[in-house]
Structure 1
Amino acid sequence: MKLSYFLILSVFFVSSAFSEETKKVSVSGQCTAEVAPDRGSVNFVAERVEKDAATAIKKATELHESLRAEFKKLNLKDLEFSSSEYSVQERKEWEKNKNVSKGFAARLGLKAVTHTIADLGRLMEIAGRLGVTETSGLTTYVSDAKWMEEKNRCLDAAAKNAEVKAQALVKSLHAKLGKVLQITETSSVAPGPVQPMFMERAMMKSDARGSAPTPTIEGQKQSLVQDVQVVFLIE
């Protein structure tokens, strides 16, 4: 039994001595990048106010469908639509100490999403020409696919940055950098939607459905910060 204890202790001391002799260096690497958005969206509301709800719904639907049809004529690549709003409400105003009905308002929302941010301006020009007076929610953002591509590129750059720093450290000590013992991704900043501008009702009014100018839309770049921690052996 004593012999077994002696052998176990001997192995422990040898392993400990080997661990103490293992020389290593731990460095951090960082990459920062500005990523241009590759997707944009905007919301259009077709609204009509009429004396009865049925007429309001009919005219709002006609405007909504005309908007979709004109957008499709542009043959824009990757243009997607989704319904964003539908409501029918009675409009009332306070007159002579009582609520007076002014008719019914029907609203149909159409959200447009595209990979070509500059095309959003063309959509807004068409909406103004057709008589759409409410446009909002203009947003640009980086798609998941592009963000992952940029993140992987930045990870590679951060790892190389860590290697350069480690080389500089061991060179000053007249040593040689060995293999990578461990590498850890420590942080990265996730993207979020950016609203470069917010367009309210009054901003999209055109004169008697005349031609409205085509606004220039520029997406705001988003910051990507990627950190890694790398442990190298020293030979």
Structure 2
Amino acid sequence: MINQTIVMYVVAGVLAVLLIVLVLEFFLLRNKLNRLYRKYMYFMKSAEGGSIEVKLSTEVRELREMIASSENMLHQQELLANMQLQSFQKTGLVRYDAFDDTGDKLSFSLTILDGKNNGFILSSLAGHDASRIYAKKVTNGQCREALSAEEAESINLALNTLMPDMAQQAQQAAEAAAESGYTEYTAAPSQTMQDFREPADDYNQPAQNPGQPAPHDHKIDMAKKN
């Protein structure tokens, strides 16, 4: 009987010690949790007093809107690049006297080309009694019709016009972005406006025509008619 009583006291003492330890651990953990919560609230509060979670959510939403806007801008850039390539932007003008009895160089040959070197040649032959206007088509910098020396010179002037190749660079950047899957494009820091003033390779190509230039053939035509 005495042994059982001793055992019960021992067990009760052990349980009391364990209970005290558990209570101490509980208060210690609660204290640590409170400190951690205060630190969490300190870091989650922004300078304006709002929650950083809300700020991060707002930043992420704005970032997604910026990405969508940049994609739209890239698409618009591609459209503008194509429009610029298809617009007339290079000209070559040569003035001359079509006839020996005229002066002041009233006759002219005007070549107008787009970014792909497509366009036309407009020649006006002015005389004392009459004037004539001719138009010839130019494709890829070439004309399939016979050209006078002035018209050939006009084409060469148009082809050698120094034009910015920004549209071509924008189109190449858009194609590179589409191939790589990226939607952002930033110009290189070393790229200056001087780089944009460099002529494209096809601008420096001389005019190639299947027919030989016929210098002053309009003078012969007018002389025969007179």
TM-score greater than 0.5 by the shorter chain: no
Q: Which has the higher helix share?
A: 2
Structure of higher RCO (CA pairs closer than 8 Å, 6+ residues apart): 1
Q: Which has the higher strand share?
A: 1
Please identify the structure whose Cα radius of gyration is greater. 2
- Give the TM-score of the pair, scaled to structure 2: 0.31
